[in-house]
A and B are shown apart, each in its own frame.
Chain A
Amino acid sequence: MVKNFIKIFIIIFIALIQIFIMPSFAIFGNWPNLILVLAVILLFFNADPEAVLAACAGGLVLDLASPAPFGLFTILLVIITLLVKLLMSRFFNEPSLLIITLIMICVLFTFDAILSLVNHNFSFTVIGFNILYSLIIAVIFYRLLSIWFDRNQGIKIKLR
């Protein structure tokens, strides 16, 4: 029970960092979606309930803070998280680093593309830079989560 509260608190804290701090670190007017990156990285540690919890709780906070129709962030985050899980369990049991990177790029592109198309401001340049930015954040999250989770419980990543 206490562990669940701590997890939800950390997820909400990360969502608040995205809303209040990340705009100061914007590049070309954009910044990574920390909740999306967190949810996908958690899947790499086989922490499926935590990944879906991040998508739900983080999505709820982002929906409350956002002027967009309520539910947009939650639905997008949950669907993308579940799709990635399905993809990895069906086709990529022991993915290589290249596959992991490609999955991350596809996830980030899909999310950013949907959000930008809904708001009529799609731009390959902006999305491209945002993907690179998000990949750097993903590496940082992976390192931090390696302290919490045992690396052996995660999916086996082939380096070659």
Chain B
Amino acid sequence: MKKWRPIIIIIAISATLFILSLFGLLKWPKNIFWKITNPVGMVLKVSFGGIPKFFRNIFYINSITKQNRNLIEENLNLQSELAKLQETKYENEILKKELNFSKTAPDNLDLFPVAVIGKTSGYLKSVTIDKGEKDGLFKGQAVISQGFLVGTVSEIRPDNAEVILITDYNSLIPVVLQESRGTGLIRGGIGGLVVEDIPLNISIKNNESVITSGLGGVVPSGLVIGVVKEVISKPGEIFQKVSVASPIDFSKLEVLFVVKK
């Protein structure tokens, strides 16, 4: 009986927390849990987090060198393109002023950096971040990484929050295809990222960008998600479906940015 006492106590705690979860009162225990364990987690990450990176660098050293060379070249090309676009932007601003055009979308996003502090399982497409309600975050805010949308804030607590990734089946975000202007909803799941409900009259181009449409009001428009890979809807379906490729490795997210406005 003595051997089973700690088990009985833990089962009683679990049952209590389960009952609290039914009434939506689990926010505070979870908040306290992350507050207590986050410093321990940071120590563990600093101590052991460098080990896989070290081996990965050795393993991929050849491809990293090639990639570096390509990126330097691409950077130089992009710099010259940027200079041309700055000029175009300036002209655009002048024309807008002339026509009394009001600004609909902000040029610069107000970004708030957050760190990913933990993840329970690879099957749960969700991460916990180290900022919460006290830092001005709220449910539904867009979260980006390297300029691409990766998720939205799904659960908010005083000191931390859950971000549901766009690769999760339950994540649904209104999007628009940048060139063909077809609107749809992007969802994650077994088949990867898929944009559904695109009208049949839209002629979709491969490799065109998929960006957020801003419909619904919370996720701002213009956030890039990825590019169209291929049309996967079958003949006879009443809407088109496309698969989307994102350049982000969702299993290696560390620093994210919450779009405040």
Residues of A within 8 A of B (CB): 4, 7-8, 16-21, 23-26, 28-31, 33, 49, 52-53, 56-57, 59-71, 73-74, 112, 115-116, 118-123, 126, 130
Contacts and interface: CB of A to CB of B under 8 A. Distances in A.
B14 A59 contact: yes
Contacts of A61: 33
A67 B154 contact: yes
Interface string B97-135: 000000000000000000001111111111010000000
Nearest to A73: B120
A136 to B, nearest CB: 15
Nearest to B42: A20
Interface in B29-56: 29-30, 33-34, 37, 40-41, 44-45, 48-49, 51-53
B122 A21 contact: no
A17 B37 CA distance: 11
Interface residues of B, number: 52
A20 B13 contact: no
B190 A123 contact: yes
A52 to B, nearest CB: 5
A119 B10 contact: no
Contact of A115 (B10, B17, B53, B123): B123
Contacts of A130: 122
Contacts of B17: 60, 63-64, 70
B10 to A, nearest CB: 4
Q: Ordered nearest first, which 7 A-B pairs have the shortest CB separation? A: A30-B122, A120-B169, A20-B41, A29-B251, A70-B21, A66-B120, A49-B3
Contacts of A60: 10, 13-14, 17
A25 B33 contact: no
B30 A116 contact: no
Nearest to B26: A70
B83 interface: no
B14 to A, nearest CB: 5
B6 interface: yes
Interface string B146-174: 00000000110000001010011110000
A66 to B, nearest CB: 4
Nearest to A50: B3
A20 B45 contact: yes
Contacts of A115: 121, 123-124
Interface in B168-201: 168-170, 188-190
B72 interface: no
A16 B44 CA distance: 9
Most central of B155, B168, B251 by chain A CB within 10 Å:
B251
